[in-house]
A and B are shown apart, each in its own frame.
Chain A
């Protein structure tokens, strides 16, 4: 295969690790200039967040794109606060994985469970959330499956609703589980650069 597999790309990337606040933070620098930052819980090995950053066409660095974890509170620049932002009462979409499944949580969705339907679009390689009252609609892809070139399976997808939150769960296929286990072993081998509190020591 011409395209190197995801695991190979991860191996080739420059990695820096750091243990801080009970999290193992790993920074990857890929050959094409993209950067990825991951945070794992030390005790459980659970992925807490994954972010991406790439240089834009003109050479400036863009913002971090959150793939997994809490969306960064938008630090509004002078320009953005003058323009347009989503109201805080809108639904907030975030991904929060568990060890055995990919999971998405959408907060601020007060409608009853019957309203929602979640389906898989095979050709577009994404999942779609629809609401019968036409209040919310979201298309999202599962980048992990794309990276391992795995098909989407409608049977693996389920959802529940509680406390104004819609939780969508997609069982991780066994290929992913195996790859993640292997990755964890390799990540453990990277020596954490600084296990201290990260602050500069004063003299």
Chain B
């Protein structure tokens, strides 16, 4: 079976959304004690990386225009020293009376919408922007829900359904929670604890437009003077007890995309006493640096003494991941089929096995089966080739393809 010389490894494409892997029942996060604080996720899929919003970290979608921008400056930017601070923000809390979204007749263009919210005392109509409409439909907000909206960030949270709507349906999901319609004013000021990274404070202070720069992606250069000032200020806050610094967890996905400078930086930064817990994921054991092609890198110079190697995905783990995958896709599968799929996952690749889930469920549905059986897995296994079979196929028939005369250097794959 495959073993990875890195701290850990995950399939990079996991069913529909990767959040299921990084979600609460993820095999990775099981290893992390709760008190480690915020988790930020640095996704190396070019040209964007994202700090994962699921973990309450502000999501600055920084566009990375050119490959030369990858690497140390970027990591330096997101190296998370989280600094919770208290601030009053304006929130809107109320029961949804009506939600109305107009799509333009042409089918393209921005949607406009109206949202009517009420409390026991009042009601107000709000105009919705495109992002808010998207968020509302993602949360499946409908009339009768009690929601809160953070006015500054647009974050929506559903508190439950209003008691007055309890008799709308006879059947209710187990998770349906009934709450009282809020009273008083719709807009309230509430003290919330934010966590920000030092980078975010730098950005807020380095530009006149401040906070918005985080979202527009154009952060520009942060001057060393600003950084020094912020460092001094943060040190002051820590002494006064106004803020505390939580190192947090930095998760770097596709770590092999980083260049040699980034690794040197990480190596240095990990020695700082405020360094976060670093988790790296890759699907490559030994590969070449992007920026310096001559040299192999295997993360070994990050130093095995500094890191703990977690070998994931033995047979048990593979099956568990597959089960989570089936759950995500709402696929029922027999135990035999699980066993076969696990075998496939171990012998080919986990990603291939995960991708077979959907295909197999479609096959099962076509034969009007209630759950996916071994024969469905066999069928899709014969339909879709995995990497090694595909390579073999190419070798066998290479004369038949175009450019067969080119004797280029073949890519090494792990």
Contacts and interface: CB of A to CB of B under 8 A. Distances in A.
A77 B215 CA distance: 11
Contact of A138 (B126, B128, B185, B201): B185
B131 A82 contact: yes
A138 B230 CA distance: 40
B114 A87 contact: yes
Contacts of B196: 58
Given A58-B205, A60-B204, A79-B212, A85 B127 contact: yes
Contacts of B230: 59
Interface string A44-67: 000000000000111111000000
B151 interface: yes
Pick the most buried of A56, A81, A82, A136: most chain B CB atoms within 10 A of its CB.
A82
A80 B128 CA distance: 10
A61 B115 CA distance: 30
Contacts of B121: 130-131, 134, 137
A1 interface: no
B205 A87 contact: no
Interface string A113-143: 0000000000000000011001111110000
A139 B154 contact: no
A84 B123 contact: no
A83 B131 CA distance: 6
A3 interface: no
B131 A57 contact: no
A86 B124 contact: yes
Contact of B132 (A82, A90, A136): A82
B162 interface: no
B184 to A, nearest CB: 7
A181 to B, nearest CB: 34
B218 to A, nearest CB: 11
Given A134-B122, A138-B185, A57 B85 contact: yes
A84 B128 contact: yes
A136 B123 CA distance: 6
A202 interface: no
B149 A58 contact: no
Size bracket of the B interface? 35 or more
B129 A85 contact: yes
Contacts of A80: 129
A78 interface: yes
Nearest to B204: A60
Given A59-B201, A60-B211, A137 B122 contact: yes
A56 B87 contact: yes
B127 A137 contact: no
A147 B326 CA distance: 63
Given A59-B201, A138-B185, A85 B126 contact: yes
B151 A78 contact: no
A89 B125 contact: yes
Contacts of B123: 134-135
Nearest to B131: A82
A86 B127 contact: yes
A57 B149 CA distance: 22
Interface in B204-249: 204-205, 210-212, 215-216, 230, 233
B199 to A, nearest CB: 12
Contact of B87 (A57, A61, A81): A57
Nearest to B85: A57
Contacts of B124: 86-87, 90
Interface of B: 85-87, 92, 114-115, 118-132, 149, 151, 154, 184-185, 196, 201, 204-205, 210-212, 215-216, 230, 233
Interface of A: 56-61, 77-90, 130-131, 134-139
Given A58-B201, A138-B185, 9 more contacts: A60-B210, A78-B212, A84-B129, A84-B132, A84-B151, A85-B129, A88-B127, A89-B125, A139-B185
